[in-house]
Homo-oligomer: A and B are copies of this chain.
Amino acid sequence: MTKIGTGVSPLTLLRTELARRGLDGFVVPRSDEHQGEYVPPSAQRLAWLTGFTGSAGAAVVLKDRAAFFTDGRYTLQASAEVDGRAFELLHLIDAPPTGWIESHLPKGAKLGYDPWLHTPDGVTRLKESCERAGGELVAVADNPLDAVWRDRPAPPTAPITPHTNEFAGQTAQEKRMQIADAIDKDHLDAAILTAPDSIAWLLNVRGDDVPYTPLPLSFAVIHADGRVSWFVDSRKLTPGLAAHLGNGVEVAEPDAFGPALDGLADQRVRLDFGSAPAWVRDRLVAAKAKVTRGSDPCQLPKACKNPVELAGTRNAHRRDGVALAGFLAWLAETAPKGGLGEIAAADKLEWFRAKGAHFRGLSFPTIAGAGPNGAIVHYRASPASERKIEPGQLFLLDSGAQYEDGTTDVTRTIAIGAAGAEERRRFTLVLKGHIALALARFPTGTTGSQLDALARHALWNEGLDYDHGTGHGVGSFLGVHEGPQRISKVGNTQPLLPGMIVSDEPGYYKTGAYGIRIENLVAVKEDGKAEGSDKPMLGFETLTLAPIDLALVERDLLTTTERDWLNAYHARVRKEIGPLVDAATAKWLEQATRSI
């Protein structure tokens, strides 16, 4: 990452600034004010300070020592990017910043933090750590890092456009009234929205302020009567947007957000303490608003897609399937010759996708890992790291796109040439897990955490596992990762509800050798009634339409039920995608989706 020209490291610059302000240390999270997955260049403070470009991390800087934290996905990347002499490199989960602060913050020391970049819950944890160390956590009004980051980019001002009813399926007016009703039922006067995807969903707008997720960064307040005050840089507004927003939405510049919070004195205001900036809580408390902790009220309705959104995602997945079929047919022809690079392969897939209607870009950086690179769960090929895709290797390809009618995310693992027996067996165990989840029926009220083991069961039986979640929520032309649902070992209390889209992506990774992951998106659907109950049983509808490499399937390891699922899935792919591709691809598809 950028080092400024003076030869003085960002760490030294920051320490000098901290000393000037009488601070003994500072916490630098990866997050911006919105706690989203992608942050604009103007907010990439952790990257500026440490060089780390991954999506999960934090640093704590003290006078004479500093620590950098990231999770298992990024351990290798961090040791390549972060200077291990300047920063102790630690595991974000196993040895988190809170524990490190507790052990290393000197008694009486003042540890600073920027209250815009931490949630109230996060501040509580930091505060406890400081107190246990005998130190003090201090909110700073201006981020000291920004004061010394001289070439800091300007904040993004990408244009904001309407997300029309053709794709949204529900007008913003209806959504505002629905959320207002919920707020009113909870005896509240207003809720603060700080998650840009919630605001984009609520107002039916999209933007381009961060990569991969089509959202404008902004803040909003929704009142119990359905009015919304929207705080957004006016340079982003486009002609026609005012008409699209209608009368119930007042637009103001971001610097009006604070004064608007002051105006909520004596009102009962809901704030999500797990995702909002602590700054907002502090300002509301100072203004004598009655702050109630509660989840972002848009999160759950946004997660449950309406019929128009579900129809849209089916269409988007059909186009995505056409692109994948074209790519996979090309790959089957090209890769065995050798010499194809990971980046070239990813670019080719993007080229196929870009031909589809409503395509607006990728939904995340493509993970294209050949051989050992496939074992790096969140691998991103660079000219320095990329490998050639060679015969005898597995090639793991995890990719997705943003279409105006839906967001896709799919992983396929492809054998280049002949695959070994171990790879075939383990691929088939992963496939068994994928199918167990795809076929699961479960009662209303079941959470993703409860289903997680179904996807791991076959691997566990052979002493194998994978160190990531099994499924994440997916937005509708919004974030490729969204909550509140999740299929994971980590406890989650949100029941799966009809219309939710989640990924089904078990895997297996052999470090230094190969990686396997099979990922489809699925939508939660009603699936008959539970006996003796009015409640529906639930199940999944598979959305993704792309062949699963039969060269990696050990037929005899599959039960009849599993084989039936695979054959029916492939028959559906052939039927839905076959008519939409050229003759050569159709021929390849015919063979790739044959019954076994």
Q: Which residues of A contact B (CB under 8 A)?
A: 436, 439-443, 446, 449-454, 457, 460-465, 489, 491, 493, 510-511, 528-532, 537, 559
Task: Indicate the member of A452, A460, A462, A528 with the most B CB atoms within 10 Å.
Answer: A460
Contact of A451 among B453, B511, B529 (CB under 8 A): B453
Across the interface, do A443 and B465 meet the contact criterion of CB distance under 8 Å? yes
Contacts of A559 in B (CB 8 A): 559
Across the interface, do A464 and B531 meet the contact criterion of CB distance under 8 Å? yes
Query: Contacts A440-B457, A460-B443 hold; do A489 and B450 have CB atoms under 8 A apart?
Result: yes
Give the nearest-CB partner of A465 in chain B: B443
Give the nearest-CB partner of A559 in chain B: B559
Measured CB to CB, the closest approach of chain B to A42, in angstroms, equals: 38
Query: Contacts A457-B440, A493-B491, A559-B559 hold; do A530 and B464 have CB atoms under 8 A apart?
Result: yes
Contacts of A450 in B (CB 8 A): 449, 452-453, 489
Contacts of A441 in B (CB 8 A): 460-461, 463
Across the interface, do B463 and A442 meet the contact criterion of CB distance under 8 Å? no
Give the nearest-CB partner of A530 in chain B: B463
Measured CB to CB, the closest approach of chain B to A76, in angstroms, equals: 15
The 6 A-B residue pairs whose C-beta atoms are closest, nearest first, are A491-B491, A450-B453, A443-B465, A463-B531, A463-B530, A441-B460
Contacts of A446 in B (CB 8 A): 453, 489
Contact of A465 among B463, B529, B530 (CB under 8 A): B530
Contacts of A529 in B (CB 8 A): 463
**Complex CA–CA separation, A511 to B533 (angstroms):** 12
**Complex CA–CA separation, A27 to B441 (angstroms):** 41
Query: Contacts A451-B453, A453-B451 hold; do A511 and B532 have CB atoms under 8 A apart?
Result: yes
Across the interface, do B528 and A463 meet the contact criterion of CB distance under 8 Å? yes
Contacts of A528 in B (CB 8 A): 463
Across the interface, do B491 and A449 meet the contact criterion of CB distance under 8 Å? yes
**Complex CA–CA separation, A528 to B441 (angstroms):** 32
Measured CB to CB, the closest approach of chain B to A194, in angstroms, equals: 25
Contact of A537 among B439, B451, B460, B489 (CB under 8 A): B460
**Complex CA–CA separation, A454 to B530 (angstroms):** 18
Measured CB to CB, the closest approach of chain B to A14, in angstroms, equals: 32
13 contacts between A and B (CB under 8 A): A441-B461, A441-B463, A442-B453, A449-B450, A450-B452, A450-B453, A451-B453, A454-B454, A460-B537, A462-B531, A510-B532, A511-B532, A559-B559
Measured CB to CB, the closest approach of chain B to A377, in angstroms, equals: 14
Contacts of A510 in B (CB 8 A): 532
Query: Contacts A449-B449, A465-B530, A491-B449 hold; do A440 and B454 have CB atoms under 8 A apart?
Result: no
Contacts of A461 in B (CB 8 A): 439, 441
**Complex CA–CA separation, A516 to B426 (angstroms):** 37
Across the interface, do A463 and B537 meet the contact criterion of CB distance under 8 Å? yes
Across the interface, do B463 and A440 meet the contact criterion of CB distance under 8 Å? no
Contacts A441-B460, A465-B530 given; 8 further ones with Cβ under 8 A? A436-B457, A439-B461, A449-B491, A450-B453, A454-B454, A454-B457, A491-B491, A511-B532
Across the interface, do A460 and B442 meet the contact criterion of CB distance under 8 Å? yes
Contacts of A491 in B (CB 8 A): 449, 491, 493
Contact of A454 among B439, B443, B453, B489 (CB under 8 A): B453
Contacts of A440 in B (CB 8 A): 457, 460
**Complex CA–CA separation, A452 to B446 (angstroms):** 11
Contacts of A436 in B (CB 8 A): 457
Give the nearest-CB partner of A454 in chain B: B453
Contacts of A442 in B (CB 8 A): 453, 460
Contacts of A465 in B (CB 8 A): 443, 530
